[in-house]
Structure 1
Amino acid sequence: MTTDDATDADAAGADPRAWFAVGDDESPTDRVRNGTADAPADWPTLAVESGFADDEDDYYAALREATLAATRAEVNERERADDRQLLHAVRAMDDAERVANELAERVSEWAGTLFPDAGTGVEGCRELAERDPDGPAEERVVSLATRVAELDREADELEAFIESRAPVAAPNLAAMAGPVLAARLISLAGGLETLAKKPSGTLQVLGAEDALFAHLRGHGSSPKHGVIYTHEYVRGTRPEDRGSASRALAGKLTIGARIDHYSGDYRPELEAELDERMRTIRARAGDDGGDPE
C-alpha cells in the first residue's frame, strides 16, 4: 500500500465523503441520506483498512443497515410533513362522513320500527342519541345513533383541522381553491410534490379518473373537470363555459401548487389574476363567443 493509500485509509473515518466512521454508530444514517462523493472510491477497502469493517462482507452488511435506517428516517420525515398530514386528514374526514351517512340509513330504518316519530339521516341520529332507551333493542339503536353523531362531529373537527393547516402547508393553493379542496387535490395526487409536478390538464381532471378511462376506451366524452367542479368558479359558471373555467382554475392552481412546494411564498397576485380571468369568462353570458369546448 502506498503512503497516499495509507493516508486515505487512515482518514477514511473522517472523510466527509465517506458514510462510515470508526466508533460512530449514529452518523452513518445521516451521511447516507445527505452525503455526496465527487468521485468513486473503493469504499469496502477503505472501510476495512480504517478498522470500520472486518472484511468486505462486514462492510456490505453495515451498509445495508445504514441504508435501511436512512430510508426509514426519510419515510418518517416525509409522512410527518404538513401536506401528508392534510392528505390523511381529508381522507379520514371523507371516511367519517361516508360511514356516518351509511350507518345513519341503517339506524333510521331500524329506529322506524321502534320510534314512530324517529327522524332520518344524521340529524335524526342526533335526536335519537338524546333519548332514554327502554329495552335491549332501543339501547342498541340509541347506541348506534350516538356513534353516528360522534362520527359526524369528528368529521367536522377534521374539517376544522384542514382549514387551519392547509394555508400553512399550501398557502397559494388554499387561498385559490379553499382549504378543503386544496387538501383533496393534494390527496388525489398523493402529496404536494406530486401535485406540483403534474401539468394543469391532469390537475383539471383529478377525481374524474373513471370518466377519463371510459373516454380513453371510447365509451364516453372527455371529462372537462374532476373534483375542481366543487369550486364556485366552475360549479357557478354556465355549463357552456365550464370547460374554460376549469382550464383557467386548473392553470392557476397548478402554478400555486408549484410555488407552494418549491418556495412556500404566498403570492396574492395569483388569486387576483384568477378572479380577473373568471370575470372575463363569466362576462360571456350575453355573448355567443368563447373558447370552443
Structure 2
Amino acid sequence: MLVLFETPAGFALFKVLDEGKLSKVEDLSKEFTTSDSAGKVVKLKAFSKFENTSEALSAATLLIDSKPSKGLCKFLKSHCDGETLGVADSKLGNAIKEKLPIECVHNNVVMELMRGLRSQLTELISGLATQDFAPMSLGLSHSLSRYKLKFSPDKVDTMIVQAIGLLGDLDKELNTYAMRVREWYGWHFPELAKIVQDNILYAKAVKLMGDRVNAAKLDFSEILTEDVEAELKEAAMISMGTEDEYHCPESYGSGWRTCWSRLIAHGGSLLNLAKQPGSTVQILGAEKALFRALKTKHATPKYGLLYHASLIGQAAPKHKGKIARSLASKVSLAIRYDALGDGQDNTMGLENRIKLEARLRALEGKELSKSAGSAKGKPKIEVYHPSADAVLGHDENEEQNISIDGPSQTTEAEKKKEKKKEKPVDAEDNVVSTVDADIGEPKETDTKEKKKKKKKKKL
C-alpha cells in the first residue's frame, strides 16, 4: 500500500512496510513518536519536486478543487502500477480513479497515517530540512492567497451589487426627507406644495424663505421662474397656514426641547402623555429595567428619557433621583397645560425651569434635613417611672380618672348595659329548654302542640 502526501516542495509517495500494524488504529500514533519507529512502518518510495513557485501554485490550486494536475498524474502513473493508493481527500481519489487505473482508499487508517507522516516529515524525506520547509510553506500560502483574491470570481460582482444597493438606499432616504420637508413646512405654508412641484426646488425655496412673511422681500429668480415666483409671493400673503412656532410652548419653554420631543414620541401623542402621572413620566423609556427590577426585587430605575435633560446631567449622582422626581412633576403639569389649556405663552415653563434650577442649587449647597420618619431621625421613647410623678406633683388617682380623649368609653358601655332589659321569651314562638337539677338533661316543650290544643278548645 502506498500513501500520497502533498508538501509545499512537491509530492511524496510512502510505502507501508508492515500492513499488519494498520489493524489497530488507536495504536498507530505510538509508532510515529520517534523517527526510528516511524521508519519501520513507512518508507519514502518516490518524490516529485516542484520546479518553481508557479508550478507549486497551480498544483495547490487544483488540489483545493480536488483535481489532480498533469505532473501528479504522470508521477502516479510511473510509480503506482498495481498498488493501492491512500489519499487524504476522497474527492481527489475519485478524480484519480477516473483518469488512472489506480485504486484509491480514504479511511481512518489513512488519516492516522497522514497525521504520523506530518509529525516526522523532515526525518522521513531526506534533503528536506526544517529550516527550508517553513519558508516554502509561507511562500506558497502567500502566493495562493494573492491568487485567490485576484482571480476569485465571487469578488468581481460584489462591488456592483453593493453599489446598486447603495443607490437604492440613497433614493429611499432622499424621498423620505423630501416628504418630511413638505409635510412639516406644509403646516406653515400649505399652498407652496402645489406651486413648486420639484423636491429640490421646494427645499431651496424653503431654505431661502424661512417664514412665509419674508417672501415678499426676497428674490427667487435664481431658483424659480418669474411666473412661479409671482404666484408664490401672492399665495404667501393670503396663506391659511399656522403661525405658531411651537405646538407645546410650556414644555418647550423649559429649554429641553429634544428631551420633551422624545417623551411625546414615546407616548404616541401629546394628549396620551398628558394622561400619565408624574411618576410614569419619570420612568418613561425605562420600562424593561422597571419590570426586571420588580421581577428580581431589586431597586427600580430613577429615570428614563428624562436622563437626557441637561438639569439631571448637571446634578451630582446622589441628587439625580431627587431632581428627576421634581422635574417629572413639573413636566407633567406643563404637558397637561399644553394639551388641555387655552394659553399660548410659555411663562409657566420658564417659571418651572427657574424653580428647578433653584432646587438644584439648594441640593448642591447643603444636604437636606433628616425627615422625622427616617430611621436615623426617629424620636427617642422614654421609659415611664412613677417616681417622676411625685416630683412633678401629679396624683395617680387623678390620672386614672382623667382621659386625654375625654370620658372613658368603658363607663358608657356599662351604663348602656344597665339600661338594657332582657326581653321575655315568648313560649309560643320559640322552643324553651329547662334544665332539671337532679338529672341534668334538658326538657323541651313544643309550641306547635299547644297551638293545636287552643284551636280545639275554640271549636
Q: What TM-score do the two structures reach when normalised by structure 2?
A: 0.29
Structure with the largest fraction of helix: 1
**Higher RCO by CA contacts (8 Å cutoff, separation 6 or greater):** 1
* Rg larger for: 2
TM-score by length of 1: 0.44
Compare the two structures and name the one with the higher strand fraction. 2
